[in-house]
A and B are shown apart, each in its own frame.
Chain A
Amino acid sequence: MTTSLPIAVDAMGGDRAPSEIVAGARLAKENHGIDVVLVGRSEELTDCGDLEVIEASEVIAMDAEPGSSVRRLKDSSLVRAAEAVRDGRASAMVSAGNTGATMASALLRMGRIKGVSRPAIATLLPAPGTTPTVLLDAGANAECKPEWLAQFGQMGAVFAQDRLNISSPRVGLLSIGEEPGKGSPLVKETYAEMQTVNWGTAEFIGNVEGRDLLTDEVDVVVTDGFTGNVALKTLEGALKNLMLALFSAMGERPEAAEAAAQLGPEFDQIYRFFHPDTYGGAMLLGVKGVCVISHGSSGAQAMENAIKVAAEMVETKVVEHLTEAIAG
């Protein structure tokens, strides 16, 4: 895979930075031929091989207040990574650091696509037997207006087309019932708003419920950032604990343990299928550049996947397609 410019990777962001981040960047280069530039304190990036480094002396902490830290820490790895994209030194940015600060850096340095009310975080949910489901907003905007949510739907449809190659994505609004009259006042107003949108080749299919998230019933699920983040974390926790319960049960009887040993590859496949690291992070939609936000706990494999996703999103020209869709 080749992109004309390197992917800027925030080497200092994340619980396991910089060692796992650097390892992931090297894997992306070695396994996929993706050109990567690391951004961070060069003296701490000791094992970066032949990867280039953009010097940044400061680090935004995982728990720092996003807006003020981006404003105050102008030489931070996050801010410098966003500036690298803005200044044409990189084609995309990837960070496993502070999510809010990543969003603020991207917004303040790259800028917002004209016409976008609020950028939103789009994440992929695994759906057995079919393509993943796009969920947005996964946490950027706790409080939303109906027109913002409708626009999230438009951006999510473009993302589904470019990221998942779904030509006519089905867009649903997360609610507590399929009927249009179900849900909070915000959901009801958003339903009406979404009926007025020109969806192009996409289709608004009405309300969907939480149980539809991991199924083939819908391709893009729209909700506010508070609900989306709760849904995402609930699913991650539930799936993780389901796997733990399964492994625990398999060890209770010798016969079950023997069967589990035989099914090891299948269990491993299922574990990987549901693991967030497999999907390479979420993408911030609505800014003038590709910005991939990886899990704070990302290890090398998660970063490798996130960098691969960033390169793919540059190649598919998702930002240009979002710009066209919003301009109408």
Chain B
Amino acid sequence: MPAETHVEGSPIGRPEILTLVKERLADILEIDVTEVGEGDSFADDLDADSLALIELVEAIEEELSERTVGFRFEDEDLEDLRTVRDAVDYVVSRLG
């Protein structure tokens, strides 16, 4: 389901979204960004608990809301986000 969004600035591509997710996650987990892999599981590989995932989601929403009005993760979709790739694909699909 596409988000009801309005892009204010230049379109953001998948590589930028991947970088954004990795950087925010590294900040939250206090690890080096190079330790975050695209295929990593939040729970199994990165020790991220459910609150860390919510911190990530809110950080991405805040970042993207400056460029894309109305961007938001739907709460009911959060449990499907198990890996970094899942989160990136979700953002890409919502912006698409």
- Asked if A pairs with B, the answer is yes
A residues apposed to B, CB below 8 Å: 66-68, 70-72, 103-104, 107-108, 114-115, 118, 141, 145
Q: Is the CB of A115 within 8 A of B30?
A: yes
The 6 closest A-B pairs by CB, nearest first: A67-B54, A68-B75, A67-B50, A107-B51, A104-B51, A67-B51
Using Cβ atoms and an 8 Å threshold, which residues of chain A touch B58?
71, 108
**B interface, by DSSP: helix, strand, loop or mixed?**
helix
Using Cβ atoms and an 8 Å threshold, which residues of chain A touch B55?
107-108
A107 to B75, CA, bound (A): 18
Q: Is B47 an interface residue (CB 8 A)?
A: yes
Q: Is the CB of A104 within 8 A of B54?
A: yes
Q: Is B49 an interface residue (CB 8 A)?
A: yes
Number of residue pairs A-B, CB distance < 8 angstroms? 26
Q: 26 A-B residue contacts at CB 8 Å?
A: A66-B51, A67-B50, A67-B51, A67-B54, A68-B75, A68-B78, A70-B54, A71-B54, A71-B57, A71-B58, A71-B75, A72-B75, A103-B51, A104-B51, A104-B54, A107-B51, A107-B55, A108-B51, A108-B54, A108-B55, A108-B58, A114-B30, A115-B30, A118-B49, A141-B49, A145-B47
**A interface, by DSSP: helix, strand, loop or mixed?**
helix
A63 to B39, CA, bound (A): 34
Q: Which of B34-73 contact A (CB under 8 A)?
A: 47, 49-51, 54-55, 57-58
A66 to B49, CA, bound (A): 13
Task: Please tell me the number of chain B residues within 8 Å of chain A, measured between CB atoms.
Answer: 11
Q: Which single residue of chain B is at the shortest CB-CB distance from A114?
A: B30
A114 to B78, CA, bound (A): 26
Using Cβ atoms and an 8 Å threshold, which residues of chain A touch B54?
67, 70-71, 104, 108
Closest-CB distance, B75 to chain A (whole angstroms): 5
A103 to B57, CA, bound (A): 18
A115 to B83, CA, bound (A): 23
Most chain A Cβ neighbours within 10 Å, of B49, B50, B51, B75 = B51
A219 to B55, CA, bound (A): 34
A108 to B57, CA, bound (A): 11
Closest-CB distance, B91 to chain A (whole angstroms): 17
Scan B75-94; emit 1 where CB is below 8 A from any A CB, else 0: 10010000000000000000
A114 to B54, CA, bound (A): 18
A6 to B79, CA, bound (A): 38
Using Cβ atoms and an 8 Å threshold, which residues of chain A touch B30?
114-115
Using Cβ atoms and an 8 Å threshold, which residues of chain A touch B47?
145
Closest-CB distance, A311 to chain B (whole angstroms): 27
A67 to B81, CA, bound (A): 15
Q: Which single residue of chain A is at the shortest CB-CB distance from B76?
A: A68
Closest-CB distance, B65 to chain A (whole angstroms): 14
